Structure formats: C-alpha cells, structure tokens
Amino acid sequence: MERPEPELIRQSWRAVSRSPLEHGTVLFARLFALEPDLLPLFQYNCRQFSSPEDCLSSPEFLDHIRKVMLVIDAAVTNVEDLSSLEEYLASLGRKHRAVGVKLSSFSTVGESLLYMLEKCLGPAFTPATRAAWSQLYGAVVQAMSRGWDSE
C-alpha cells in the first residue's frame, strides 16, 4: 500500500475502535441481512439461533464479534506489513473453512465491513477511505483464502 492510504485506514479505525462491540454488531447485522444462510454456521453448545437478533445478543456471539474486531485491529496495526500476519490469517481461513464458511461469503463480509465503516464514519467515509479499506480487506481475504488451499 502506498501512503496516504495506511494513514486513512488508521485514522478511520480510531473512530471505530472506540466502540468495537457496537460497530461489530452493525457489521454482523448487515452480514446476516445480506446472507441469512450464514446464521446456521454460528452454533454454541449445540444451540441453533432462531433469528439474527437472537444470535447478535448471545454472549458467545458477542465474544466472536470482539475477536473479529481484534483481527481487524491487527490488520490495521500491520497495514504496512501484512505479510507478518500471513500464517495467522491462513490459519484463520482454515478454521472458517472447517465450520462451513465458503470463500464466496467473504465478498459479503467485505460489503458488511464497508457498510459498518460508512455508518460509523458518516461523511468522513470518503471514496479514498473506501478504496483504502477495500484494498486492505482484499489483502486479508487473500491471506485467509490460503486456508482453503492447504490441507
């Protein structure tokens, strides 16, 4: 990534990271609205959620949201050296593959991430900021998709 994109990402993330659970919930609510078939992938203690709201309010899922936001935070922190996260992200990809996530769903996750950023940042979510985040997310997905390539 060239300058000033890393700074756009860091600057916008500072606003989001003040309330990670709130903004992560926006991300997942949007994800379930766009791709409801993902809801059954989230089961805790053999409990199937009856609705996205049921899932989004469960303590176990709130923990998942926190973890997702921490992964995004790690990507932001290492935006200029994402290669340092390659193995971790490939391992995360393997975990997602193991629970039935399809690579194609990452496109919907990306749309949901951009939606959450736009809702959080409002007018500060400029086309340049959108492009920088799209580039970062693309790099993260590329690394995670290695988890589908390896056995």
Asked whether residue 35 is assigned to any structural domain, the reply reads yes
Asked whether residue 16 is assigned to any structural domain, the reply reads yes
Domain extent at residue 46: 5-146
Say how many domains are in the chain.
1
CATH number of the domain at 137, please: 1.10.490.10
Asked whether residue 39 is assigned to any structural domain, the reply reads yes
User: Residue 89 and residue 86: Cα distance in Å, rounded?
Assistant: 5
Q: Which residue has the tokens 């700074």?
A: 7
Asked whether residue 19 is assigned to any structural domain, the reply reads yes
Asked whether residue 151 is assigned to any structural domain, the reply reads no
Q: Specify the pLDDT at position 150.
A: 59
Global pTM? 0.92
Three-state secondary structure readout of 117-142: HHHHHHHHCCHHHHHHHHHHHHHHHH
Asked whether residue 30 is assigned to any structural domain, the reply reads yes
- Res 4 pLDDT > 60: no
Q: Specify the pLDDT at position 130.
A: 97
Q: Specify the pLDDT at position 149.
A: 81
- Res 143 pLDDT > 90: yes
Beta bridge partners of 44: 47
Asked whether residue 82 is assigned to any structural domain, the reply reads yes
Asked whether residue 34 is assigned to any structural domain, the reply reads yes
Residue 23 labeled ligand binder: no
Q: Specify the pLDDT at position 45.
A: 75
Work out the angle at residue 77's Cα, subtended by the Cα atoms of residues 63 and 123, and round it to the nearest 5 degrees: 85
